[in-house]
Structure 1
Amino acid sequence: MSRKPLAALLFFVGIPAATLLACSSNSGGGKSCTAIGCADGATLSAHLQMPVDAFGTLQVKACWNGYCGTGSVDQEKDAGSGEPLPTLFQLQGGSLYGTVHRVDEGSGWTRLDVSVRPAAETKDGDRYTLTVTDAQGAVLFDVERITTYSRSYPNGPDCDERACMNATHALYSESANGLACTGNTCDAGAIIRQSVAVDAALTEVNVVACRNDACWPTTVVGLPSGKGASSTRMTTPPGSIAVTRPAPDRADFEVRVQGETAALIDGDRYRLTVTDGRTQKVLANIDRQVTYEATFPNGQACDAHPCRIARIEGP
């Protein structure tokens, strides 16, 4: 089977026209519709118990219903953000395209997010396989899943001609093989909320979030001076900081500190310090040990580890 040129098959920010779900001018019986695109497929998240800087080049092989392709992941990072660069990989016969992205989860764990987008029509019962080998050829990971997709309508059911079908599978080396599983996600870690009185002119805060002995400072700029909201993404660990101003003299903080669920244990200690970026005045200071809520979003047979979430409310 001949291969098409790489540029004709792969797009990092683009999506092949055949897989885009967006409104045409005739969608929705003449009603006004947005044109949000969506690509069917699955994200296979390989959770590896190894520090992000402990491996050299990893080889990734992803398959959909027997169509397979490979890509390599190394230590190369973006010069601006410092984040790992995604790897685009070409798959057999042009039937697939995708990306590989490396994420430092902390606590000695690394996650490889492999996004697989079939060019042909997806259906429940599709088989996805993910294999990861190291530079010496040793197999670190080899797991197969039979997928049940979730359905969504990015532009609304009246505009989209059919549902967008996606799934995300959290996979571990000990995950059972060949199971039929849903693809419900888990944002394990802690959600910390605190409401504080602030100066009406506050536009910048410094946030330090800690889990046990690991701390991650983040500066949030561009806060609304009056009513409004802003958000900032945390990269290490993955997470986010959302700030809402219900009134000019008040700010509500919600900090999400994500973590590798297999590494989280009851008794973990979370700390949050928020200071005024201009005066360095302490606005919030939280220090808590937690007991996690543990759930299995896809059932105990499919989830190798429970999804652990702690919710912390400040005084």
Structure 2
Amino acid sequence: MQDLEKQLGELGFAGDDMVVPFQVDALDVRGRTVQLGPLLDAILTRHEYPEPVARLLAEVVVLTALIGTSLKFEGKFTVQTKSDGPVDLLVADFSTPDALRGYARFNDEALRAAVTAGMAAPEQLLGSGVLAFTIDQGSYMQPYQGIVQLDGSSLEDIAMGYFRQSEQIPTAVRLGVAKLLDRDEDGQPRERWRAGGLVAQFLPEEPDRMRQPDLHGGDGDDGQLSHAPDDAWTEAQALVETIDLDEMTDPEVGAERLLYRLFHERGVTVYPAQEVYDRCSCSRERILGVLKGFTAEEIDDSTEDGKITVTCEFCSTPYVYTPQDVRDD
């Protein structure tokens, strides 16, 4: 196995907005880690989200980047929440090979009331609902969707539950978000959003080693495990849980140093990083195609001062059409 320091000399440090794949052979663990900087700051400041909303969306964007960049085919991976809390919608998607975007919808009045009442924890802002993971390989393939309940747990725990129940892959997830204060080119103070995350999965050659302790069976379950957890995965989980959330967002630490701190005693291999971009998939032609499905009455209702204006919820780009544009074949 190559020494990590030698690899860093050959590959260099990935830096911000680069997803770094890694492997720990001694523990049969593979995973990905990332620090998002300018990309995330652009997504969050574009909409001027209140801080509690921005933090939630940042976690979803990080999770989407970590999982989406593992796609081995052309397609789109989407993470989306739908719930009854003040923040009723969070959505982020990754389109191969490198486009990432995100959007949040919230009730401003309900959000203010929740913050005032001291109920601004992420799980309280989300409320009850579902978290969906969707993989879309294009028009010739049926999309795959996995859904888990929002049950008051953190997004970290809910994501790990998804992998355990739907994918049956032992998975550890860590997510961290920070708002840093520095100065711009003119020396003026500014705030910048950063976030980081790590996903580690237990993928041994013997599939039976991946088995996890059985889920609780409900009434009458005596709580006894049918088998013991694998020692290698127990160690990997314990190491991942030692990550300080500040480490995941600190630009002085970086992805590679974080991996070295975690796994240097076992040996960790890092692979070339994959850059991700703040890039929306909207276009004038795509939105026009949607508008052409409107009825005549809907076109009239959407027209103001002789124009139909549609603003992309993700990137805030406005598209302006005339009613004739929409009605023309």
Q: Which has the larger share of strand?
A: 1
Q: TM-score, normalised by structure 1?
A: 0.30
Q: Which has the larger share of helix?
A: 2
